Amino acid sequence: MKKVINNLRRVLFFAAGAIFGLELSGIIRPSLRSRLLYGLVRLFHKPTMPEELEKQRNYLELLQDLVPDILKLDPNPVDANGIPCEWVLPSQEIPTQVVFYLHGGAYVTKIPVFHRSFLSLLAQESKAQFLMVDYRLAPEHPFPAGLEDALVAYDWLLYQGWAPEQILFAGDSAGGGLTLATLLALRDLDKPLPAGVILMSPWTDLTGSGESITRLAELDAMLTWNNLRENALDYAGKEPLTHPWISPLFADFHGLPDTLILVGGREILMDDSTRLATRMTEDGVDVDMVIEPFMWHVYPAIGKTNPEAARAINQIADFIQKC
């Protein structure tokens, strides 16, 4: 019996090593860890995500409270001409670049504990520092409040002595849309533009006209259009959803900086990215488009917990360092 048990252990160790090796090689797509995370998110997140805004905010607050204190990073707040922001710095490097970051949350929520941790990882990998802007949220502060806050914070950053060629813009989800809107406003106001742009699953079409809204509805583990539709109306306020500073997909992109776009292939907002990349390219913008076929909304934010997100972190860091 002892011999049988030892042989069984050898077989199990060999099988585990083979599976781990296959995952590291990238042959298994999606990775085993991604399959597990995707299943957990589908099982626990989407069915419990409430439609009412106040319940959404309470739900996200609960998620943040569940993060163990040892994993929470202390905020490093700064007042940017009246706009609350946070610095996120690499631990050992003296940065020569700064990334002006606008967080996601459908324009109505925020999850600073998670964004702080994600940006800390990006800062370490890219050796850049990040300025996360705590812009005002709808419905209490509809458009153009968030855009105004972003413009004021960017002016403050320039006043601190950072040259435009040292600055990149970045944002995820609604923050990606707001990032584009800020760039468009800066260009139209004839103000200096940053050296590059990073967009993760940007929400660029608040009208919901992309085919992926319905095509991928059953596969999306995180988002539902019912929730997003209400958030869009709250954010737009009295302005039409087609306004190019609300839905940047409908804008003219001439003159914007080089752009990196990352999007998951299993999210209802995928067409917001693919159509954006096409239109920006047609307008002469240098666009690097990354579609990770089996991933979900803002998949890089889970850090290095799976190979796909780890690859995205490296792609973002490389882009920052090349700008």
| The predicted structure's pLDDT at residue 29 | 63
Render pLDDT for 115-142 as a digit per residue (tens, 0 to 9).
999 999 999 999 999 999 999 999 999 9
What is the average pLDDT across 261-280?
97
Q: Give alpha helix (H) positions in the chain.
A: 2-25, 32-44, 53-65, 112-126, 145-159, 174-188, 212-215, 225-236, 270-282, 307-322
Catalytic residues: 173, 267, 297
Q: For domain 47-322, which architecture applies?
A: 3-Layer(aba) Sandwich (3.40)
Closest listed residue to residue 164, CA positions, set 143, 141, 193, 188 = 193
Peptide bond connecting 139 to the previous residue in cis, omega within 30 degrees of 0: yes
- Using an 8 Å Cβ cutoff, are 41 and 222 in contact? yes
Closest listed residue to residue 201, CA positions, set 226, 221, 230 = 221
- Using an 8 Å Cβ cutoff, are 103 and 175 in contact? yes
Render pLDDT for 218-232 as a digit per residue (tens, 0 to 9).
999 889 999 999 999
Percent share of the chain, pLDDT over 70: 85
- Residue 66 class from Cβ within 10 Å (0-12 exposed, 13-18 middle, 19+ buried)? exposed
What's the whole-model pTM score?
0.89
